[in-house]
Chain A
Amino acid sequence: MTATAIRPGRVENDGEVKPRRGRKPVLTQRERRGLRLSRALVWPALAAAITITQIPFLVTIYYSFQQWNLLRPGDQKFVWFDNYATVLTNGAFLSSLLATVVIVGFSVLVSLVFGMVLALLLDRKFVGQGFARTLLITPFLMMPAAASLIWKWSMLDSNVGMVNWLFSLVGINPVAWNTDVPILTIIIVLTWQYTPFMMLILLAGLQSQPSDVLEAASVDGAGPIRTFFSMTLPHMRQYMELSILLGTILLLQVFDPIAIMTRGTGGTKTLSYLLYERAFVGLEIGEAAAYGVLTVILTIIVAMVALRSLFKIFKKEGMS
Chain B
Amino acid sequence: MTKSNLRGRRWLSLAAVVSAGVMLAGCSGAGGGAGGGGGDTVTLTLATVNNPQMKDMEQLKGKFEESHPDIKVKFIQMEENDLRDAVTKDVATKGGQYDIVTVGSYEVPIWGQNEWLTNLNDYTTKDADYDVDDILKPVRQALTVDDNLFAVPFYGESSFLMYNKQILADAGLEVPEHPTWQQVADMARQVNNDDHAGICLRGKPGWGELFAPLTTVVQTFGGNWFDEDWNATVDSPEFTKAVQFYTDLVKDAGESDPVSFGFTECLNLFSQGKAAFWYDATSAAGSLESEDLSEVAGNVGYVHAPTVETEESGWLWSWNLAIPETSKKKDAAWEFVSWATSKDYMKLVGEELGWSRVPPGSRASTYEIPEYKEAAGAFAGITKDVMLAVNPTQPGVNPQPWVGIQYVTIPEFQDLGNQVSQSIADVFAGRSSVEDALSDGQKLAEKAGEAQKE
Q: List the interface of chain A (C-beta within 8 A of B).
A: 1, 5, 13-14, 69-74, 152, 157-159, 174, 176-180, 182, 261-266, 269, 277, 280-284
Contact = CB atoms under 8 A, between A and B. Distances in A.
Contact of B260 (A69, A73, A152): A152
Contacts of B428: 179
16 contacts: A5-B1, A70-B411, A71-B110, A72-B411, A152-B260, A261-B260, A263-B205, A263-B422, A264-B422, A265-B205, A265-B425, A266-B426, A266-B429, A269-B422, A277-B415, A280-B81
Given A69-B411, A281-B207, A282-B414, A13 B2 contact: yes
A14 B2 CA distance: 9
Contacts of A73: 92, 114, 116
B88 A283 contact: yes
Interface in B382-425: 411-412, 414-415, 418, 422, 425
A281 B415 contact: yes
Nearest to A263: B205
A269 B415 CA distance: 15
Given A69-B411, A72-B411, A179 B92 contact: no
Nearest to A71: B411
Nearest to A260: B260
Interface stretch (B132-140, B250-258, B365-373): B250-258
Interface string B238-282: 000000000000000001111110000000010010100000000
Contacts of A182: 259, 429
B3 interface: yes
B260 A178 contact: yes
A158 B92 contact: no
B85 interface: yes
Contacts of A74: 114
B257 A283 contact: no
Interface string B168-189: 0000000000000000000000
A269 B116 CA distance: 33
A281 B116 CA distance: 19
A255 B255 CA distance: 26
Contact of A179 (B257, B272, B412): B257
A159 B269 contact: yes
Interface in B76-122: 81, 85, 88-89, 92, 110, 114, 116
Contacts, number: 95
Contacts of B36: none
Contact of A263 (B1, B116, B204): B204
Interface string B427-438: 011110000000
A124 to B, nearest CB: 41
A277 B260 contact: no
B425 A176 contact: no
Given A1-B1, A71-B114, A263 B206 contact: yes
Contacts of B89: 70
A155 to B, nearest CB: 12
A152 B425 CA distance: 17
Nearest to A280: B85
Contacts of B274: 159
Contacts of A152: 260
A311 B311 CA distance: 71
Interface size for chain B: under 10, 10 to 19, 20 to 34, or 35 or more residues?
A: 35 or more
A179 B425 contact: yes
A70 B269 CA distance: 37
Given A263-B206, A282-B415, A176 B256 contact: yes
A177 B414 contact: no
A217 B256 CA distance: 55
A265 B423 CA distance: 7
A228 B206 CA distance: 50
Interface in B189-209: 203-207
A180 B258 CA distance: 10
A71 B428 CA distance: 32
A217 to B, nearest CB: 49
Interface in B204-232: 204-207
Contacts of B85: 280
Nearest to A72: B411
B418 A281 contact: yes
A174 B429 CA distance: 14
Closest 3 CB pairs of A and B: A71-B411, A265-B425, A282-B415
A266 B425 contact: yes
Contacts of B412: 69, 282
Contact of A177 (B1, B260, B269): B260
A313 to B, nearest CB: 41
B114 A265 contact: no
A281 B206 CA distance: 9
B88 A70 contact: yes
Given A72-B411, A73-B92, A159-B269, A262 B259 contact: yes
A7 to B, nearest CB: 14
Contacts of B425: 179, 263, 265-266
A182 B85 CA distance: 27
Contacts of B272: 159
Interface in B55-83: 81
A13 B1 CA distance: 8
A72 B451 CA distance: 11
Nearest to B205: A263
Given A5-B1, A72-B411, A280-B85, A179 B205 contact: no
A179 B259 contact: yes
A266 B205 CA distance: 11
A262 B415 CA distance: 17
B388 to A, nearest CB: 30
Given A69-B411, A71-B110, A179 B1 contact: no
A72 B454 CA distance: 13
A180 B259 CA distance: 9
B422 A265 contact: yes
Given A70-B92, A158-B260, A277 B418 contact: yes
Contacts of B110: 71
Given A1-B1, A13-B2, A281-B418, A157 B429 contact: no
Contacts of A178: 257, 259-260
Contact of B92 (A71, A262, A263): A71
A97 to B, nearest CB: 17
A14 B430 CA distance: 81
A73 B88 CA distance: 11
B3 A14 contact: yes
A263 B428 CA distance: 14
Contacts of A71: 88, 92, 110, 114, 411
Contacts of A69: 411-412
Given A5-B1, A283-B415, 19 more contacts: A69-B412, A70-B92, A70-B411, A71-B114, A158-B257, A158-B260, A159-B269, A178-B260, A179-B257, A179-B425, A179-B429, A180-B430, A261-B260, A263-B205, A263-B422, A265-B259, A269-B422, A281-B415, A282-B414
